[in-house]
Each structure stands twice: as C-alpha cells, then as structure tokens.
Chains A and B, each alone.
Chain A
Amino acid sequence: MHQVLFIIFGLICVGGAVNLLVQRHPINSALSLVVVMGALSLIYLLLGAEFVAAVQIIVYAGAVMVLFVFVIMLLNAGAEERTRGSHVALWVGGPGVAILAGMIVYLMFRNDQHFNPVRIGNFVQQPDNTHSVANSLFTKFLLPFEITSVLILIAIMGAVVLARRES
C-alpha cells in the first residue's frame, strides 16, 4: 500500500514537472508547479513528516504560487514562443542529469540499512514530530535559523528599496 501510494504520487510529481516545461502558457506552467508541490507534500506525508507536508502546502502551494499566479494575471503574460534550445544545455545538461541521478541511487543503496520504515497513520499519535522540529529549530539550530531569517528580511528590504527608487 505504502509503495503503491509512493509510486502514484511520484508519477504525479514527475508528470507535473514535465508538464511545467512542456506547457506554453505561463499560467498552465504555474498550475503544474502547484500540482508538483501538492504531490511532494503527499510524499512527505508518506515519509512520516506531517508537519513538513502541511507547511509545504501552506507556504509553497498556498502563498508562493498564489503570488506567481497573481503576477502572471496582473501582467497578463501571453503564450511563450518556442525556441530550438541551446547546444550547451543539451551536451552539458544531459550527462549532468545522468550523473546526478546515478549518485542519488548509489547513495540510497549504500545507506539502505540506515533507513527506518514508517507507517501511514503514525501521525495520529500524540507525541508528534512537530515538537521535535521545534526543539531542534530553537535549540540546536537557533543561530542558522535566525541568520536565515535576517537574510530573507534584508533581501525583502533590498527589493523594496530597488522598487521604490525615485528619479
């Protein structure tokens, strides 16, 4: 059951990602990305990471992609033109993808015995992994967490300054 669900959502995920590239209209591409996000969050759920799954939906599908769609609607972007694609991308990208996939598969097989199986429905139990995420985020990784937040804040302020520059 677990494996069947994983294959289904994995296929949806890959299908959405391919559709994202194939579609010519930006809004269709953005919606395929939403599908990818949704399928990813379900895969997180299968991994027993229910908090990450919910946050994936709320932050990426619910906020970031809504902004994308909003901007596409606001600018009224039309269909893209198709180009032949560059040779560099073909000759470097193809082998690159193959090497990356090979490395991931190799690492997975090498660390096979370290993975713990999870059961669907583990997340009904009360001592949950939301607490463990919070504990590690606010004790062990407090400094990196805060620094990242400040970095994002600076980026937002930079964007506002650039956008509001007056002549």
Chain B
Amino acid sequence: MTAFIIAAVVKILVVVFLMLTGVAYMTWLERKVVGHIQNRWGPTRVGPFGLLQPLADGIKFILKEDMIPDAVHKGLYILAPALALTMSLISIAVIPFGENITVNGTTTPLQITGVAQPGGHPTDINIGLLIILGVTSIGVYGVALAGWSSNSKYALLGSLRASAQMISYELALGLSLVGVLILAGSFSLRHIVDTQAGSWFWFIPRWYIFPQLIGFFIYLMAAFAETNRIPFDLPEAETELVAGYHTEYSSMKFAMFFMAEYVNMITVGCLATLLFFGGWHGPLFGPPLLQSLLPVFWFSVKIFFFMFLYIWIRGTLPRFRYDQLMAFGWKVLLPLAIANIVVTSLIVALKA
C-alpha cells in the first residue's frame, strides 16, 4: 500500500512537471515556428536560440501587478481561471503513456490511474475516454464565467462565442470517436491502444486511422474548435474583440488561461495518438533498457507531431467568419460524423 501511494505521488509529480514544462516550451516552439513561417527569427535574445524565453515569460507573469477591475463579480472572476486550468490538468490523470515500469522491485503502470496486475498487463478505468470528455466539457465554464464575470462587453462577447462554439463542436467531437469505440469495443484507453497492436500484411500498423480516416479528420477539426485555436479562434479574435474572454485578466490569472489552452492542446494530441495512432506502439529494438523507453519515446513523437500541426495550421490558415463556423460545425461535420457511425457499424455488423 505504501509503495502504491509513493508510486502514485511520484507519477503525479513527474507527469504534472513534464506537462507544464511541455506547455512552456510549446509557447517557445510556437513563436519560433510561426516566426520562421513568416520569415522572421522568433525569440533569440534570452539564452541560446531563445530557449530561456519561457522562463523569462514566467517570471514576467509572476512579477506583474495582479489587477482586479472594480466592477467585476469577484468570486467568479477568481474562480474562472482556476477552473479552466484545473479541469485541463485533471484529464491527464487517465491518459496512459506506456506499459509497466519497474523501479526497485515496484512495478507500476505508466499512467496515473492505472493499476498493475499480477499477470503483468496493467488495467485502467473502463470509462477513461468518457472522463476526458466530461472534464473538458466542464472546462467550458472557465471560459464562459471569465467573460461574464469580467463585466465587459468584449469579454462577454468572447465568452458567448466560446460557449456556443464549444457546445456545437462537442457533438461532432463525441460522435467522431464513436467509430473507434465500435471497433475497439471499450471506453478504456489502455484497451483501445492494446487493440491497435500488430500490423496488417506485416507493414501497415493496425492503427485506427486507416479504417477511421473520416472519423480522424472530423475529430481533428472539432478538437481544434474545442481548444479555440486558429482557424476557430473566434472567442479571442484580437482584431474584433481585443482579446476575447480574457481581456480583463492580468498577470498570473491571464497566464492560467493560456496554460489551460496549451494543456488542452496536449490532451487533444494525446487522445488523437491513443485513439487513431496506436498510442505507444512503434518499432522496438536494441537492449532491454532502450526497449522499455522506446514506447514513451514513440508516444511523445506522435504528440509532438500534433503540436507541430497546431502551429503549422496557425501559421497557414486565416480565421473563419462566425456564421461559417456554425454552418461548418452543424451542416458539414455533424452529418459526416453520423454517416461515419452508420457505415462503420454496418460494416462491423456484416463482418460479425
């Protein structure tokens, strides 16, 4: 029991530390890559290649004056950024990133809420995917309440847009995952990854992206809209709404919204990797130590690909108009997702 608790605490600390470091360097990567896309250098001054820029930003955020405007609804104004960040961080608790790891005779699965089994194969919560969906849908309150409690027109418009957009795209997001769920037959993320082991004809990996190509693209677009990223960043469109729902926030509270957004992006990358790209599965070779580390490496590489995709698209596409956004969500993505479910379940039923 003590070993279990120690292992759990260590895992939580390591994962949260890695996550927040990842978020910090994601901002660096974004500025660097977008800079190069636009023929600029990006940050170069702080440290080699500007690598210490996130640290400088963090110090700046902490040391800035934390202003609370007079007419805000104070309780909710303070609650909102905390809610957004907490909910985005909770969802990593159910994400598995590998098989077991053994340290000093204690075997523990590479997942915060995983349970090691005597047979060697770990298990996890059998509603993992639903927990992620539920927690992200609670995260909407952070954005909605931020705009409302700020008592400012720009912020209110931003959060109205955000909540309408998130509710609309949540439907398509949830439905796009049903195809994978039908094929895997479980909500457990570990089980979904396990069913993707091996390959077809010895060279095509059994990833669900191949049978569920349409589902994957629907998921990707809906997830971009859920995380309020370009081309769906209407809630914080700076050309129209100053900064949208976080206009009235300063210092660390403002940073918390940004951290929540980036953590959500990483969660989306994790989920896409787990559901469509075979999670930590990849070629294994070399000595035993390398073999035990390679799955985590493959998992990180796949997540990095999605993070790069986010930045790439940000540097490439312009923003949607609001009516285009709504029409796209309801008239294109939703019918496509439903058609995808019908076709997938038909094929599964015919093959059974």
**Interchain CB contact under 8 A, A51 and B127:** yes
B interface majority secondary structure: helix
Q: With the chains together, A10 CA to B131 CA distance in Å?
A: 21
Q: Which residues of A contact B220 (CB under 8 A)?
A: none
Q: With the chains together, A57 CA to B141 CA distance in Å?
A: 13
CB < 8 Å: which of B123, B144, B145, B170 contacts A124? B123
Q: CB-CB contacts of B176-187 with A at 8 A, as 1s and 0s?
A: 000000000011
Q: Is residue A66 contacting chain B, with contact meaning CB distance below 8 A?
A: yes
**Interchain CB contact under 8 A, B124 and A124:** yes
Q: Is residue B293 contacting chain A, with contact meaning CB distance below 8 A?
A: no
**Interchain CB contact under 8 A, A57 and B138:** yes
Which residues of B in the span 281-335 have a Cβ within 8 Å of any Cβ on A? Answer: none
Q: Is residue A74 contacting chain B, with contact meaning CB distance below 8 A?
A: yes
Pick the interface stretch among B37-45, B158-166, B196-204.
B158-166
Pick the interface stretch among A90-98, A111-119, A125-133.
A125-133
Distance between B73 CB and nearest chain A CB, rounded to angstroms: 8
Which residues of B in the span 118-136 have a Cβ within 8 Å of any Cβ on A? Answer: 123-127, 130-131, 133-135
Q: Which residues of A contact B188 (CB under 8 A)?
A: 126
**Interchain CB contact under 8 A, A50 and B127:** yes
**Interchain CB contact under 8 A, A70 and B144:** yes
Q: Which residues of B contact A69 (CB under 8 A)?
A: 141, 144-145, 148, 163
Q: Is residue B346 contacting chain A, with contact meaning CB distance below 8 A?
A: no
**Interchain CB contact under 8 A, B163 and A58:** no
Q: Is residue A153 contacting chain B, with contact meaning CB distance below 8 A?
A: no
Given the interface contacts A66-B140, A66-B144, A73-B144, does A54 sit within 8 Å of B160 by beta carbon? Answer: no
Q: With the chains together, A73 CA to B144 CA distance in Å?
A: 9
Q: CB-CB contacts of B225-248 with A at 8 A, as 1s and 0s?
A: 000000000000000000000000
Q: Which residues of B contact A40 (CB under 8 A)?
A: none
CB < 8 Å: which of B123, B127, B163, B191 contacts A66? B163
Q: Is residue B167 contacting chain A, with contact meaning CB distance below 8 A?
A: yes
**Interchain CB contact under 8 A, B134 and A66:** no
Q: Which residues of A contact B130 (CB under 8 A)?
A: 51, 54-55, 58
Q: With the chains together, A73 CA to B156 CA distance in Å?
A: 8
Given the interface contacts A62-B140, A63-B167, A73-B160, does A126 sit within 8 Å of B191 by beta carbon? Answer: yes
> Can you show 17 pairs from A to B with CB atoms below 8 A apart?
A31-B76, A31-B145, A50-B127, A58-B130, A62-B133, A63-B170, A67-B167, A70-B167, A73-B144, A73-B148, A74-B160, A124-B126, A125-B123, A126-B126, A126-B191, A128-B186, A130-B187
5 residue pairs, one from A and one from B, having the closest CB atoms: A62-B137, A54-B130, A57-B134, A128-B126, A58-B134
